Amino acid sequence: MNDILALSGVAQAALIRDRKISAHELFELHVARIEEVNPRINAVVETMPETEPLPGPFSGVPFSIKDSIEVRGTSASAGTLGYRHAPKSTRDATLVARLRAAGAVPVARTNLPDLLFAFESDNLIYGRTNNPYDVARTSGGSSGGEAALIASCGSAFGLGSDAAGSVRLPAHYCGIASLKPTSGRLARTGHVPPAGGWIEMLWQIGPMARRVEDLRAMMSILLGADGEDLTVVPMPYEGVKVSELRIAYFTDNGFAEPDAETQAVVEAAGKALGAVHSVPPGVGKSYELEMMLLGADGGDGVRAFLRSIGSDGTHPLLDGWLSKLEQFRTDVAGLAGYWSRLDQFRAGMHAYLTQFDVVISPVSSSAAVPHGTSIEEKTFRGFSYTMTHNLTGWPAAVVRCGTTSTGLPIGVQIAGPKWREDTVLAVAQRLEEIFGGWQAEGL
């Protein structure tokens, strides 16, 4: 692998500005890398033709996009049969357009689960994406193609989306960094399927990269309302010193106990920052609350959407999700009860942040799992750690801080108050400095 490909996007942009490599040469290096690794990991569903980069902070740097985010001149399949032959988009999604305006160049669209509903990236159109550290294991979902490609240096950074952990779990499984921003922070215009309904409060589009410095640089570019996604709140983006923060950590939410290696990595991260061990009250209810909100109609809304777009078949992992949602079916009075419990949960978590500025925790209960096993009950419950911050709406980042005895990455999750992406990314960068972050070894 060319050493240039392992650099951050910020560093690659500097090489272009210093005329040590041309934008064309850098693009060709990434295309060649995709051709080299994709037969093994199956992360890319489409490689895009080179375009002339605009001037800007990322001028000439290639980036990738999850196949549920629109890119002008391409089709977003969302991994589902009903969109297999969708017409080509006539414009970029807002965040893609902003990266282009900053000079970044789209290089690839990446794989995902059927209609984004799985913690693995496997669908009936393109098949499954493999973990670059162990192809017998999943890269995670739903932004698993993004994570696998970025980890393998096929793109510098990219965009995913997250309703229950979908940018954070793949980052953890593939050893890269990612951020789920505050709910209402970034415009979701151009996502497939679009925002809407009572569950739209749970999800955001988020940046993914090998290095935290790219996440920080991307956020300054992606911020701001677009006049179309009316949920976006134009809040300021600030700066913070890690040494001034009150940091808590916990290794077990009391609902899904992580394995010993995961707990040891999270504890090491917390202690490295002088954090206090403290479990937020009620955090063990995260799984039930997330599934209540997603499954109040028993999954009927998802089934109706699939019918409306002509999906005449669904992947077994999506079927498994729908089966789990069926258990939480309720009526209008029940939904009101669900909402009341969510309000109580969020109020309790907000009160907790009067004591702390940042909370460090596991991303899930283990490192990357074998293909097809993410839907198993014990493993599925382990995704409750990321669900917590879809419910709170807090920003949450992931960065690699360790490795299993078998060579798989282990990330930790860093969460903080609404609108304080600066805080969680500052802590993530400090942990990256201490523990090394992404590693090419083992790829």
Two tokens at 180?
Answer: 């789920």
**Secondary structure, 3-state, the chain:** CCHHHHCCHHHHHHHHHCCCCCHHHHHHHHHHHHHHHHHHHCCEEEECCCCCCCCCCCCCCEEEEECCECCCCCCCCCCCHHHCCCCCCCCCCHHHHHHHHCCCEEEEEECCCHHHCCCCCEECCCEECEECCEEEEECCCCCHHHHHHHHCCCCCEEEEEECCCCCHHHHHHHCCEEEECCCCCCCCCCECCCCCCCCHHHCEEEEEECCHHHHHHHHHHHCCCCCCCCCCCCCCCCCCCHHHCCEEECCCCCCCCCCHHHHHHHHHHHHHCCCEECCCCCHHHHHHHHHHHHCCCCCHHHHHHHHHCCCCCCCHHHHHHHHHHHCCCCCHHHHHHHHHHHHHHHHHHHHHCCCCCEEEEECCCCCCCECCCCCCHHHHHCCHHHHHHHHHCCCEEEEEEEECCCCCEEEEEEECCCCCHHHHHHHHHHHHHHHCCCCCCCC
Q: Which of 8, 64, 66, 155 is catalytic?
A: 66
Nearest to 362 by CA among 240, 256, 291: 256
Q: Which of 75, 142, 366, 374 is catalytic?
A: 142
Q: Quick check: is 8 catalytic?
A: no
Q: How far is the C-alpha of 234 from the C-alpha of 231, rounded, in Å?
A: 10
Please report, as a single letter, which amino acid is at residue 296: A
Q: Quick check: is 142 catalytic?
A: yes
Handedness of CA 125, 294, 428, 53 (dihedral sign): positive
Please answer whether residues 215 and 207 qualify as being in contact, where contact means their C-beta atoms are separated by less than 8 angstroms.
yes
Q: Which of 166, 178, 361, 384 is catalytic?
A: 166
Two tokens at 67?
Answer: 């196949």
Q: How far is the C-alpha of 10 from the C-alpha of 217, rounded, in Å?
A: 8
Two tokens at 361?
Answer: 């925790």
Q: Quick check: is 22 catalytic?
A: no
Please give the positions annotated as active site. Answer: 66, 142, 166
